[in-house]
Structure 1
Amino acid sequence: MCPWTVIGVNDMKHLSNKIKKHECTKAHMTNTFKLAMLGKANIAAQLDQGYKISVKKHNEEVDKNRHVLSKIIDCVKFCGGFDLALRGHDEADTSDNPGVFLGLVNLLASLDSVLEDHLKTATVFKGTSKTVQNELLDCMLSVCKDYILEEVKNASYLAIQADETTDISTHCQLVLVLRYIDPHNNVQERFFEFIPLQNANADTVATALMERLGTILPDGQQGKLIAQAYDGAAVMRGAKGGVQRKVKDVYSSAHYIHCYAHQLNLIMQQATSHIPKIRTFFSDLGGFAAFFSRSFKRTAILDQVVAHRLPGTSTTRWNFHSRAVNTVYEHKENILRCFQTIRDSGDFDPITVREAGGFVRMMEDEVFCFFLTLFHKIMPHVDMLFSQLQKRNIDSVYITGLIKRFTSSIQTIRDSIPSGESSGSQQLPTKKRRGLGHEEQQLLAREVCDTILSHAKERFSFTKHLISSTLLQGDLFQQHSRTFPEAALETTVEAYPLLDKAKLKTELSLVYDNDQFRACSGAVTLLQFFLDNNLQETFTETVSLLKVLVTTPMATAEAERCFSTLKRIKTFLRNSMTQDRLNALAMLSIEKKLIRSIPDFNTRVIERFATQKERRAKFLYK
């Protein structure tokens, strides 16, 4: 026993020497070792051989149960990934069609002896019941959401995309999609969930969004939300009482973005709806596909003579109009011959003959052929722009270039239309005529092009917070190097107060003067250049601005894709499913790639499943 514990220390002058001497004693070293090992060794494990055996047996059983559960999880993932029903009509052992899920489980059992033995002998936990399926779906959804939230936590900025619709069971659903840059510097648009709504008014939608955002962005992170994208409905875009205004009142940096793909549809609708002759042209054009779709006999003649089906038209998706225009233009002679065959063959009923005769007269009409040629020139540019606007990795800088090329192409078509003898300001004659003269046709053609140009300029004009895109538009760098864009910089800093104006100006000046940066065509390319060359520490403010631009969504195309998945899931998986199960199945279907990329996904699901509640089957190791 150390004398310090009996009489204490009263010679403080030599305390340090005594401590060093004490540290070398065997008693001190023994006590130090015992303290370090305190609680580390389990006496029962050291002494009781029977306990060791029981632990080993328990862990072997856990291994087996986890293996079986992992296979069942694989089956659930497969069904969710391909939108297949989990439950069969008759799941009895004697059923010839127990459903896809049980069919997959049985197939795996024929290839896996452990799973086969489990299914034959299991009494406590078989793993194929509806309850277990739903619990596994809950766990999968939680694992995916936690992974997405972790990525959002590490992202510099976040944008949300939302849209609402009714599913096939007439329930109002709001889809929420998150856009951010992940830790690997890739732009991600992640489906987060479907939110059930009592109605689609602004207060209901805004309240639902606020509740989710409170979970996604806890206190202190509200500044991360820099953009919110919806469609053009008044409920969403209202400047005073709309959803975007209510969200912006709480998240001050969340600027509103109108979906650019929707804007393109609005432009084309405006160009065609207010001009009666053009509206009539597209109405007549839609009749081609409708005529053949009503009869197999008519379609057989179409296949025989034209060897090409006619696509229908749509008032909301202008690529359908484009396909109809191009098909009729490219196969005009054969389609005309097809209608003439139907009219003159004597094998069709009077109604069909009468309608076919009307289409023959239509296709021989000079005005119809003129507008068909005009829109055959315009539609490819609309198609190209529409397809570009549907991409995920687009940004405001890239959009600027697309719109510039689109308007330039439409202007070229407009300039190619002969002006004739009458001036552009001359009004069309009010006298009723059977057809249009050449001058009237040309006047209408120029009006169509002027409408597209004016609406493109208005609807695609960037709002205040998107003027920042011009600061990083590669084709303007040379111009900016001569005259620095002070006004755009001022507007950018006003929209995003988080940026340091003085440092950003210095960095941009260096960017404008360097030829290597000018080859970058968009914000995504430019950001990647900075990251690849480890310049993010030098150009901190420029990289921050680029991340803002890249994170800002240009379209709600991802939300539209989620709705198509919603409709498929609701069709295949019955309308009576719970909302949690719907979200889980939607996550498995939409985010298949994400699920494959999550390390040890099955293990994470099993851990959550095992700790969800007390279970009779063993899934946790000792």
Structure 2
Amino acid sequence: MEESIHEKIEEKRAKYPTLRCAKIERLVITNPHKTEPKSDDRTGTFPASRTDGQRQPVQELAFRGHRDSGPLDLDSMPANGKESNFKALLRYRASGDKQLYKDIKTAQKTMLLTSRNVQNQIIKVCSDVIKENLVNSIMQAGIYSVIADSTTDISAHEQLALVIRYVTEGGHVREDMLSLIKPSQTTGAALADEIIQCLRKLGLSLTNIRGQGYDGGCVLTVPGVRNMLGIASEVSEFLSGSAARVQVLEKKVDEYVPDSRKKQMAVLLFGITQPLSESLQNPTHTLTESMELVEQVDKTVAASREEFSLVMDKALKLADELDVPVSVPRTTKRQVHRSNSCSSTEPAEFYRINTWYPFIDQMMTELNARFPKEHPAIHLQEILPLFIEKASLTSIEQAAKVYEEDLPNLTSLLPELLVWREMISLLDRTQFPKDISEMFQMTSNLPNVRVIVRILMTLPVTSCSAERGFSVLMRMKTDQRSTMTEDRLEALMLMSIHGKEKLSSDEVVEKFMKMCSRRHCE
């Protein structure tokens, strides 16, 4: 926050003379290499806040770090020499600020606003302000999509991250984490009920949901590949369990595999989908843009059925360098744990039929299942500049009937499509919108077309934004802070993710003062 919360409290204190609270300035850690300390009217050596319009650096230090109980004595250190991060920084700040030092020494102990209870209250207020601002932005967008994913935290508790995807009035796609839920059960029905209750509690209408994105696990049905991954997992656990084993492995890898080939080993089979995987991690990508990549990957995967000989030659060469014999597994008349559909004794023929072809087929099946071409929104992508000239306007109109409630006037959609087609025909291909967000800006005078573009932008593609929230979760809830309550954990995560743009000092101070009647004027 650009302005100090405590400075806002001082403004209220001046407005209400009977307000009984100590004057505590905000702690600021400045970078000595960027900004020189300037003296202020408090005769201290550190400024209370920056006046150049730049934000203070956010370090995300733990409030406590050690113990936070007991009084704050500026004249002597604790007996054990340890105290919380907050009190240590406050002590450091007071050493260079005479007015702050005086306020802390003369204020009543119950009015210092340094207790952990006050910390928890401020954290709760910040969380509420962030949620209110996010909900207001989502409501202004009108329609939105739900993205959810779950993980297990350091305490072995299931955590469900709820992310909302929506489009701002400026045409920017947003995927914002809205809540962290601790579900009582992990069944699909229970998780769905938790999401519905959370949305209703926040005041979001379920009728405005236009898309849903969840992380559905893929179950491998190719026995050979499934067994290989299982063995690799067991070997990895065995090696990582001992530092001596890891050292031996690193030595052998450096001995047999040069640096130029280490990445080739990792992307031998999965390199085809790597561009698609990297593209799907961009939260601003739309379903339309992703479908174009999916179609290209699908064609490449289908064509790779004929590339088995090249892959097999590389595998044989690598096995020869590592002195690993390549042979056909033992076969029986009735096989349960691996494929046995080929009686050939040639390794190439056996693995081509039992591993390569089934793996390629399943990869294509998964792509088609995750990105179905019969979705109504897929037909709406013909509205894009690349397709509109040859598109069937009646098919676009038919597909748009699914979202009739969102359109201002369905009967005027066809005339708007004709105008839109004419607008695009007057442009050179180099003048086409660079992305769908730019196209959204061009449709300001075509309300129905604009709504269709908004729907295409709102539909989710992946659940990567929820997974990014788990990275924040791992930073907030560590093995040393494993007993953190759920409300505090959610609040700290929201502050870490949205604090820079969704927090207002005025709102935080107003809500903080309303939490206790003693902070109000009598």
TM range (shorter): 0.7 to 0.9
Alignment of 1:22-33 (within 5 A): none
Distance 1:230 1:383 in 2: 20
Q: Find the counterpart in structure 2 of residue 490 from structure 1.
A: 398
Aligned residues: 450
Deviation at 1:230, TM superposition (A): 2.4
1:452-504, Cα deviation, whole Å (9 max, x unpaired): 22432333214533224432344433432xxx153343123224433233432
Q: Find the counterpart in structure 1 of residue 146 from structure 2.
A: 160
The AA in structure 2 aligned to 1:527 is S
Structure 2: which 5+ residue stretches go unaligned?
Answer: 1-10, 30-47, 50-54, 71-76, 313-338
Q: Decide whether aligned partners of structure 1 residues 187 and 458 sit closer, same or farther in structure 2, where only a CA change above 3 A counts.
A: closer
Distance 1:501 1:58 in 2: 57
Pair 1:226 & 2:135 matched: no
Pair 1:614 & 2:517 matched: yes
Between 104-113 and 410-419, the greater mean CA deviation after superposition: 410-419
2:448 maps to which of 538, 541, 544: 541
Deviation at 1:224, TM superposition (A): 2.8
Q: Find the counterpart in structure 1 of residue 101 from structure 2.
A: 116
Distance 1:410 1:151 in 2: 41
Distance 2:149 2:415 in 1: 40
CA contact (8 A) 2:21 2:113 kept: no
Q: Find the counterpart in structure 1 of residue 24 from structure 2.
A: 68
Q: With structure 1 as the length reference, what TM-score do the two structures score?
A: 0.62
Alignment of 1:188-587 (within 5 A): 188-217=174-203, 223-232=207-216, 266=218, 270=220, 273-276=221-224, 278-283=225-230, 285=232, 289=236, 292-304=239-251, 306-307=253-254, 330-331=261-262, 376-417=267-308, 430-431=342-343, 433=345, 436-443=346-353, 444-480=355-391, 484-499=392-407, 500-513=409-422, 514-515=424-425, 516=427, 525-531=435-441, 533=442, 535-536=443-444, 538-571=445-478, 574-587=481-494
Deviation at 1:86, TM superposition (A): 3.0
Distance 2:308 2:432 in 1: 32
The AA in structure 2 aligned to 1:192 is L
Which structure has more RCO (C-alpha within 8 Å, separation ≥ 6)?
A: 2
CA contact (8 A) 1:84 1:572 kept: no
The AA in structure 2 aligned to 1:153 is M
Deviation at 1:178, TM superposition (A): 1.8
Distance 2:59 2:460 in 1: 26
Q: Decide whether aligned partners of structure 1 residues 488 and 81 sit closer, same or farther in structure 2, where only a CA change above 3 A counts.
A: farther
Q: Secondary structure at the match of 1:115?
A: helix
Q: Find the counterpart in structure 1 of residue 36 from structure 2.
A: none
Deviation at 1:64, TM superposition (A): 11
Q: Secondary structure at the match of 2:284?
A: coil
Distance 2:12 2:285 in 1: 55
Q: Secondary structure at the match of 2:397?
A: helix
Between 549-558 and 159-168, the greater mean CA deviation after superposition: 159-168
Q: Secondary structure at the match of 1:546?
A: helix
Aligned-residue RMSD, C-alpha: 4.2
Distance 2:358 2:188 in 1: 37
1:89-115, Cα deviation, whole Å (9 max, x unpaired): 365551422122222222333344333
Deviation at 1:60, TM superposition (A): 9.8
Distance 2:22 2:430 in 1: 53
Between 382-391 and 503-512, the greater mean CA deviation after superposition: 503-512
Distance 1:130 1:565 in 2: 22
Deviation at 1:579, TM superposition (A): 2.9
Deviation at 1:283, TM superposition (A): 4.7
Distance 1:402 1:100 in 2: 49
Q: Secondary structure at the match of 1:197?
A: coil
CA contact (8 A) 1:81 1:590 kept: no
Percent of aligned pairs with the same amino acid: 21
Distance 1:577 1:551 in 2: 34
CA contact (8 A) 1:85 1:573 kept: no
Between 61-70 and 484-493, the greater mean CA deviation after superposition: 61-70
1:103-148, Cα deviation, whole Å (9 max, x unpaired): 2222333344333332232214112111111111111112111211
Q: Find the counterpart in structure 1 of residue 328 from structure 2.
A: none
CA contact (8 A) 1:195 1:208 kept: yes
CA contact (8 A) 2:153 2:474 kept: yes
Q: Secondary structure at the match of 2:401?
A: helix
Distance 1:174 1:378 in 2: 32
Q: Secondary structure at the match of 2:174?
A: strand
The AA in structure 1 aligned to 2:518 is R
Structure 1: which 5+ residue stretches go unaligned?
Answer: 1-54, 233-261, 311-325, 333-371, 421-426
Distance 2:431 2:62 in 1: 44
